[in-house]
Structure 1
Amino acid sequence: MRSTVHGAGDAAVWDVAYPDRPSRMAGVAFAGFCRGETAADHRLVPHASVIVALDFGAGPSIVEDAAGGRFQGSLVGGLGYSGSVRVRGENIACVQVRLSPVVARAVLDVGPADLGGAVVRLDDLWGRRASLISERLSETSSWDDRFALVETLLADRYEDRAAADPEVVRAWDRIVAARGRLRVETLAAELGWSRKRLWARFAAQIGLPPKRAAKLVRFDRAAHRLSAGQDAARVAADGGYTDQSHLHRDVMAFAGVTPATLAEESRRTTAALAEPAGPLRRPARGGSASGNAGRAVVARPGPAWAMCAQ
């Protein structure tokens, strides 16, 4: 596993753990987040993924959305949720599952179009089963075992359900591979569809029209680079933006802050922004979920992290 501690000095309060091998479920990625007794209050950056946060922390973590809703426990964030979403609390611990929108329905029974970019309680989707997962995670002592547990619980659901239509999967994969720098007309021509048909089929299954999805993927890539401290002008030039003002407008639209503020907030809290899931290629069935979960090693800055044992 890869492990990082984000922040500097007294602000180094986020521990982020990753499996050292990809999930055997294509279009699915995991990370572990842990925070001690220092209270959190930070923005959740939108991603080009549907986000599932499986909460098992000792303290109450509160998520507030742009509409003023307050949520606790395990949550699902729809594709491209507002950058006005914030998380507050202490003693936070969760396994984050990032789902490519083309496999979200197969895993959740709810597609990104149904979520509509909103934050919803996992209990509202899965009922008591969501609470049972949190209980099992809280009883599990290592990130290795937590990742394996979640992968095992999701694998049967994933393999027994269809992903999006093959043409929509192909369209999403092309957008991601091109990092959002792909014209809708070009994409429609590659599929042999009209622009209108592509818009309707894609939006019905992904939850966003193709042009908006491409902008989100491009923003996601830019957010990674800004969080890594790269210069905004270079990020704009390399990311397909017409100029730095264009980047500024897109970051404001998705995150609700300027590129400089986005970069600073990410450095002060957590810059654990995973890349959008790559092309969807289902692996062969079979094999051990736990065997493919990868070895996890967590670096802990102090005794407040006892709840986040390795």
Structure 2
Amino acid sequence: MAGFCQRAPAFGDIAMVAHPFVTVLIDLSEGDGLVYDVHGRHERGSAVVGLLPGDLRAAGWARIECLQIRLEPVVAAAVLGASTELSGTVASLEDVWGRDAGRTEDRLRAAASWDERFAIAADILGRRLGARPPVDPELVYTWRRTLTSRGRVRVDGLADEVGWSRKRLWSRFRARLGITPKRAARLVRFDHACHLLAAGHTAADVAAESGYVDQSHLHREVKTFTGLTPAAVAVAPWLAIDDVAWPASSPTRSPVTGGERIPDLR
């Protein structure tokens, strides 16, 4: 998780780049607060961004405070009480959590510091996670092998590793996480490639490093996930912020102890 502050009275507009996590944006602002745009529809307040939501922009007027939480899909299915219905969508936190959404916002807004907010959020997430049945360990293993291999893993091989048939792994994975194993691998590989591009590597080097057939293959994948070229993705503000908030995700930086940063997005 990370806290974001925009202290100056200005308007910010950031296009989100698809990444292999479910994102919870908790709006803690006073006044108009966070605004997000999905396929031309404008919404306000806290939101849950599922995997592969398509074109999504987040913005805000005046002073913005927002807690962003990233959840592995295998965790999100339990914490949010939803799985497949969140994939490819953006929903208000109230629609997902009901009255608990408002109570969570009130507790976090009343906290005296960001450290206190992180502790409150961790407690809430932990309680929700502990109150629901866990995702099948075979699915957890499959997801995390996909993540640690940076998407360069064969689904057939994973099925053998967990002792399931390919058909069973495919259907269970999609039913619980809302995405197929192959699509998940593509998303993870794309995410790694994007961070390499943002770190200044050439498209040709990124294609080779990330396991794409060639530079044209990388170009097609970037276009599929973002509608942009690799050059445009390399300078995307979302990835620049990502590098500050979650330095462990950057190929050129080492993790920060505690994993939490508070960028000032003025």
> Which TM-score tier does this pair reach, normalised by the shorter chain?
0.7 to 0.9
Q: Which has the higher contact order (CA 8 A, sep 6+)?
A: 1
| Superimposed CA distance per residue, residues 188-241 of structure 1 (whole angstroms, 9 cap, x where no aligned partner) | 222232222221111111111111010001111112222222222221111111
Q: 1:187 to 1:296 in 2, by over 3 A?
A: closer
Say if 2:94 is the partner of 1:97: no
Counterpart in the other structure of 1:208: 179
Matching residue of 2:100: 129
Is contact 2:16-2:238 (8 Å) kept? no
Residues 44-95 of structure 1, C-alpha deviations (whole Å, 9 max, x = no match): 11110111111101243211113x222211100011221x101122222111
Given the alignment, which residue of 2, 15, 19 partners 1:47?
A: 19
Unaligned runs of 5+ in 2: 250-256
Question: Normalization by structure 1: what TM-score?
Answer: 0.75
SS of the residue aligned with 1:241? Answer: coil
Corresponding position: 1:227 with 2:198: yes
Of the three residues 164, 175, 186, the one matched with 2:146 is 175
Q: Structure 2 CA distance, aligned partners of 1:181 and 1:299?
A: 32
The offset of 1:297, in angstroms, is 7.1
Alignment length (residue pairs): 254
- Percent identity among equivalent residues? 44
Q: Which amino acid aligns with 1:65?
A: V
CA distance in 2, matches of 1:78, 1:71: 16
The equivalences for 1:1-310 within 5 A come to 30-36=1-7, 37-58=9-30, 59-66=32-39, 68-82=40-54, 84-90=55-61, 91-111=63-83, 113-266=84-237, 270-272=241-243, 274=246, 294=258, 298=262
* SS of equivalent residue, structure 1 residue 236: helix
Q: Would the alpha carbon gap of residues 137 and 170 (structure 1) be closer, same or farther in structure 2, given more than 3 Å must change?
A: same
Deviations 1:74-117 (A, max 9, x none): 100011221x1011222221111111111112211112x12122
Say if 2:27 and 2:65, in contact at 8 Å, map to a contact too. yes
Asked whether the equivalents of residues 34 and 60 of structure 2 are also in contact (C-alpha less than 8 Å), the reply is yes
Cα pair distance change 1:92/1:228, threshold 3 Å: farther
Q: CA-to-partner distance for each residue in 1:258-297, whole Å, 9 max, x for gaps?
A: 1111121227962347467xxxxxxxxxxxxxxxx95977
CA distance in 1, matches of 2:69, 2:171: 28
Q: Distance in 2 between matches of 1:64 and 1:203?
A: 27
Structure 1 match to 2:253 = none
Q: 1:268 to 1:299 in 2, by over 3 A?
A: closer
Structure-1 separation of matches of 2:50 and 2:148: 21
Q: Deviations over 1:134-171 (max 9, x none)?
A: 22222223211110111112211112222211111111
The alpha carbon displacement at 1:133 in A equals: 1.8
Q: CA separation in 2, counterparts of 1:92 and 1:229?
A: 30
